[in-house]
Amino acid sequence: MKKFAAFVMVVFAVALALTACGMDSNAKSSANKKASVVATIYPQYDWLKNILGEYADKVDLKLLIKNGTDLHSYKPSAQDIAAIANADLVVYVGGESDEWIEKALEATPKAGRMQVNLMKVLGDRVKEEEVVEGMQAEKEAEEHEGEHHHHEHAEAPENDEHIWLSLKNAQILVKNLAESVSKIDTANAPVYRANAIIYASKLHDLDWAYDSTVSNASQKTILFGDRFPFRYMVDDYGIKYYAAFVGCSAESEASFETVAFLAGMMDSLSLPVIFTIDGSRSNVALAVRNASKNSKSVPVLQLNSMQSVTDEQIRSGVDYMSIMKSNLETLKKGLK
């Protein structure tokens, strides 16, 4: 995996620093030390903020992947490894992009540290990435790896990491995270559990709103001129989709065949919208629209996959719930 080389370098770079950090933390009185929680990506971080609620000052909560950095292209720093080494609770997605975290946890043992692999929590709710009709298959394995590694790749389909885009998954994960936080700060456990129940209820209500919207739609197919990280969302509500690439694809240029297929689907289904994801340059979506015969005036709209939430957005009050509500309003325009 491409992140392994970077990981090895930073682990050696911080080995001495981590030893010193461990000595310092052991010297402190545990009574004076806040519980430390590290969340890799924004959705988990925001769920944890809602679980902590009015007791947020009791826990040192750190968001690791920020400043608009994408989970798939993230490279850990020495400070990130140190944060994981010293944390009481580490929360991560658990997909292929997080293999470096598992290595970091192994390399920095700490007594009592808890770790939550969210994909393991979900168990058989986790889905493999799928290549649907017309989608451009990933070429990276063939181009960047030897033939032996390519065969290994073919034998082991990659799981879809974008588990947070299902409100049903979110409800399960929030309850699990509340239990984990309650174990590292037992004194305030009743508050965390109560906050999780309230927040999960809001997630349930929004889930119902999605379900109602799709149930009442006359047309239940959407088309992405982009990567497609929303499989968990569309499967929850029975929405059919077409897209240029799978959710974790490194591709950004679509083939003529892919563009022509998607343009043909736009025309044959009379789809009212072409979708892209947050941070997209929309070049594939625009190419699809230009290649169509009857859909040249349809809008290109963006659904937010929360893979690259910026600090500015967080400061402005954007959160998981507001993004999912905004996605619903955008989705309505694509479902007649």
pLDDT for 45 equals: 96
Non-local CB neighbours of 221 within 8 Å, separated by 6+ positions: 239, 240, 241, 242, 269, 271
pLDDT along the chain (336 residues), means of 10: 48 44 44 85 97 95 84 83 94 91 92 96 95 77 43 62 97 98 96 98 98 95 94 97 79 82 95 92 92 92 91 92 98 92
Single out the residue of 4, 72, 88 nearest to residue 39, CA to CA.
88
**Which value, to the nearest 10 degrees, does the dihedral of the CA atoms of residues 50, 55, 60, 62 take?**
10
Single out the residue of 213, 228, 233, 216 nearest to residue 169, CA to CA.
233
pLDDT for 191 equals: 97
Non-local CB neighbours of 159 within 8 Å, separated by 6+ positions: 95, 96, 119, 126, 127, 128, 129
The pTM of the full predicted model, rounded to 2 decimals, is 0.87
pLDDT for 251 equals: 58
Helix ranges, 108-188 (H): 118-122, 140-144, 147-155, 167-184
217-334 fold: Rossmann fold (3.40.50)
Q: Do domains 3-122+160-203 and 217-334 have the same CATH topology?
A: yes
pLDDT for 72 equals: 74
Single out the residue of 197, 179, 38, 191 nearest to residue 105, CA to CA.
38
pLDDT for 15 equals: 40
pLDDT for 12 equals: 38
DSSP secondary structure, 59-122, as one string = EEEEE-S-TT--GGG----HHHHHHHHH-SEEEE--SGGGHHHHHHHHHS--TT-EEEEHHHHH
pLDDT for 298 equals: 95
pLDDT for 285 equals: 94
Which residues does residue 157 pair with via DSSP β-bridges, in sequence order? none
pLDDT for 139 equals: 60
pLDDT for 154 equals: 44
DSSP secondary structure, 204-243, as one string = HHHHHHHHHHHHT-S--EEEEEEEE--HHHHHHHT-EEEE
Two structure tokens written together for 257: 């065949």
Domain positions in the chain: 3-122+160-203, 217-334
CATH-assigned architecture of domain 3-122+160-203: 3-Layer(aba) Sandwich (3.40)
- State how far the Cα of 206 lies from the Cα of 203, in Å rounded to an integer: 5
pLDDT for 204 equals: 98
pLDDT for 295 equals: 86
Residues across the chain: 336
Please give the C-alpha separations between residue 230 and each of 143, 184, 327, in angstroms, as whole numbers. Answer: 26, 33, 11
